[in-house]
Amino acid sequence: MSEKIEFEICLGSSCFSRGNKNMLKVVESFLKENNLCDKVNFHGGHCLGNCAQGPNIKVNGKLYSGIDNFKIIGILKNTFDL
């Protein structure tokens, strides 16, 4: 039994206004298009305590900062070995 990947997107006000509002849609579309929804526990979270370097996400406990539309696709591809 493989564990689901824990994918948290910061929805604190700083990250949300700096890009995660849009990133949320990018990630959702990517997961749907690649049939990955059942392999991941994708959820929003409160401030991750790293606002200045935001927007931030956390994948299996690893923090990624300063993400944008391009970086997030790279992170997703790496995470799922695509």
| Residue count, binding to ligand FES (CB under 6 A) | 11
State how far the alpha carbon of 55 is from the alpha carbons of 4, 48, 76, in Å: 23, 10, 16
Residue from the set 8, 9, 10, 57 that interacts with ligand FES by CB under 6 A = 10
Q: Does 14 bind ligand FES (CB under 6 A)?
A: yes
What phi and psi, each to the nearest 5 degrees, are found at residue 62?
-90, 130
CB 79 within 8 A of CB 59: yes
Q: How is residue 3 annotated by DSSP?
A: P
Stretch that binds ligand FES, among 8-16, 22-30, 34-42, 73-81 (CB under 6 A): 8-16
Residues that bind ligand FES (CB under 6 A): 10, 12, 14-15, 47-51, 54, 56
